[in-house]
A and B are shown apart, each in its own frame.
Chain A
Amino acid sequence: MDRDDLLPLYRQMLLIRRFEERSAEMYALAKIAGFLHLYIGEEAIAVGAIAAIRADDYVISAYRDHGHCLAKGSDPRHVMAELFGKATGLCKGKGGSMHLVDAKRNFMGGYAIVGGHLPLATGLAFAVTYQKRDQVVLCFFGEGAVPSGQAHEAFNLAALWKLPVIFVCENNRYAMGTPITRGIALYSDLTDKARAHGIQAETVDGMDVLAVRTLMQTVVSKVRTDAQPYFVEAVTYRFMGHSMSDPAHGHYRTKEEVDAERKKDPLVLLRQTMMQQGLATEADFKRLEQEAGETVAAAVKFADESPFPARAALDEDVYIE
């Protein structure tokens, strides 16, 4: 482990954290509307996993997608502008928080029907194989998608046709308000659901960005060379509510539980590791904090000052003429 290797991971997680905290404020100010699902607490998974792939590898996500999009390298200004519904947003303001897409970075989108994007991920991987390329596909989804039919259809096809897709299950333990033990039969961990389809699977501590990255480096390398899918369960916790309309600890989680989980904050964990090993100083973190603050402030300013889409945009991009 060295400083130049770890600081970027912290920088990315911090950016996502601060970006989303400001998003929540902007939501309260009605600059952002609709559904806004925050990734706070889960940042180590996107950052650790995406750090293990190449720039031309594909990433596809569900509706809690800000972290994956930013980790894939999207410009925070264009992401924030999309949340604001502005013409300068990644998707010209037509997608919104749940449907971020950055095609030039092969960030293939956020999808808001639970389980529905897992078949798409297998399709991206199918195209890679068909065209004899060597990319991999990272498909992020919550544990709430695991019992869905579309997920299992995707697992089966990926295994059957040996497609280079890595299913990264972000197990934050609650499918909105339903705990996993009330949603999935015989739950101990989720890897057996993938193994049932003949997919190799492992569980990792999703709060530990280094553990996630280390595992993913091995997995990505296997998937890239061996032509096979893989399933990774990253155990995590959502510090905030399901969306902005759900308080951090509603009827389904106790304050004590949330407080206890917050002590496992992935940012704090990496910071402690780096401090203990003498790889970074308070001054470094102060500087990173300032940098993230400036980046997010610039994103908010950019979004705020950008125009809304013109009326003419309403009819654009329904069809390709």
Chain B
Amino acid sequence: MLISYREALNQAMREEMRRDERVFLIGEDVGHYQGAFKVSKGFVEEFGRGRVLDTPITEAGFTGLAVGAAMAGLRPIVELMTFNFGILALDQIVNNAAKIRYMSGGQLSAPMVIRGPGSAAHQLGAQHSQSLEAWFCHVPGLKVIAPATPRDAKGLLKSAIRDPNPIIFIEAQLLYATKGEVQEGEYTVPIGQAEIKRQGDAVTIVAYSKMLLLALEVAEELASEGIQAEVVDPRTLKPLDLQTIVASVRKTGRLVIVEEGWRFAGLGAQIADSVYTDAFDYLDAQIVRVTGEDVPMPYARPLEDAAIPDRARVRAAVKQVLHRA
């Protein structure tokens, strides 16, 4: 069936809440408003206010409440209206959710999903447009997932809800309305498995979330020029499926990494480091990263466009690793 990314998330949560009484949804306007991006449409009607909790605008408070509830045996899904506001909950995420299992010597844990959109939409300004996945990937104890397609969004969210660890699940505003094929019936997508979204032999492009769609567009353009790019979607950013990325690089010998986040200490730097460590001898060219610019997101449209990776920059990076500038 062809459904939207938004509907995929809705189905995943709905199915898991039907399956497991311990699962509840908490966040700003998730109930009667049905979610700022309408992801939880119909939830309060089906599950009631006891399991679909509208919160005040207090991210630290309700995220911390969810961590405590998880420690006591529940399976919370925290919806952050956007990950920008998740910054207010970082103490709870980093100091409590991620560490409680380790600090307690395995006695306690915080099985929960913290989800919502990251990255830029259109002209929302600096405080509402940022890709913070590298921050979360840096923290031991967290798993980080950033699906690009409805099929992956549904299957990975279901896996995340069932996973016994705290999980950061990053969506994107510009993906909610995108559509894709999702199989009928029950399925999950395993955490920690990349997927080759397009086969090719000339160059590997690693891209996730919104940037995957960009990479696939560029790959189609390049195909018409006789260049077959292989596009690898990590889907899970941590733990990263390095094996699939390295296998692709061994085949193509060339790697471009596309991410929307800031360049310095970005996720692509980690991927590049890992590939240099594991597959240096297979590389025929230096790895090239296409990233967001190291600036707060500007409002003006031409400036915003200049700050985010686009087709031209991805194309140029591919040409560079192919030595065809």
Contacts and interface: CB of A to CB of B under 8 A. Distances in A.
Interface of A: 58, 89-95, 99, 101-104, 108-109, 111, 113, 116-128, 130-131, 149-150, 153-154, 156-157, 160-161, 316-320
A101 B105 contact: yes
B190 interface: no
Nearest to A118: B64
Given A93-B105, A157-B56, A123 B91 contact: no
Nearest to B74: A127
Interface residues of B, number: 41
Interface stretch (B33-41, B94-102, B193-201, B285-293): B94-102
A119 B95 contact: no
A149 B108 CA distance: 25
B310 to A, nearest CB: 36
Interface stretch (B65-73, B118-126, B225-233, B314-322): B65-73
A123 B104 contact: no
Given A130-B50, A156-B56, A319-B141, A119 B102 contact: no
Interface of B: 24, 50, 53, 55-56, 58, 60-74, 91-92, 95-96, 100-109, 111, 140-141, 143, 164-165
Contacts of A91: 103-105, 107
A157 B108 CA distance: 23
Nearest to B76: A123
Top 8 nearest A-B pairs by Cβ distance?
A: A123-B68, A119-B64, A153-B61, A127-B72, A92-B105, A120-B68, A91-B105, A103-B107
Contacts of B91: 113, 116, 150
28 contacts: A94-B102, A94-B105, A95-B105, A101-B104, A119-B65, A119-B92, A120-B65, A120-B71, A122-B64, A123-B71, A124-B68, A124-B71, A124-B72, A125-B68, A126-B68, A127-B74, A128-B72, A131-B73, A131-B74, A153-B61, A156-B58, A157-B61, A157-B65, A317-B101, A317-B106, A318-B101, A318-B102, A320-B109
A137 B100 CA distance: 18
Nearest to A101: B104
A126 B69 contact: yes
Nearest to A119: B64
A121 B68 contact: yes
A92 B105 CA distance: 5
B69 A109 contact: no
Contacts of B141: 318-319
Given A130-B24, A150-B61, A320-B164, A95 B103 contact: yes
A154 B96 CA distance: 15
Contact of B68 (A101, A122, A153, A319): A122
Given A116-B91, A123-B72, A156-B56, A150 B104 contact: no
Contacts of B56: 153, 156-157, 160
A88 B105 CA distance: 10
B24 to A, nearest CB: 7
A109 B108 contact: yes
B241 to A, nearest CB: 16
A149 B102 CA distance: 26
Given A126-B68, A317-B102, A119 B107 contact: no
A101 B64 contact: no
B58 A157 contact: yes
Contacts of A95: 103-105
B64 A123 contact: yes
B23 to A, nearest CB: 11
Contacts of A149: 60
Contacts of A157: 55-56, 58, 61-62, 65
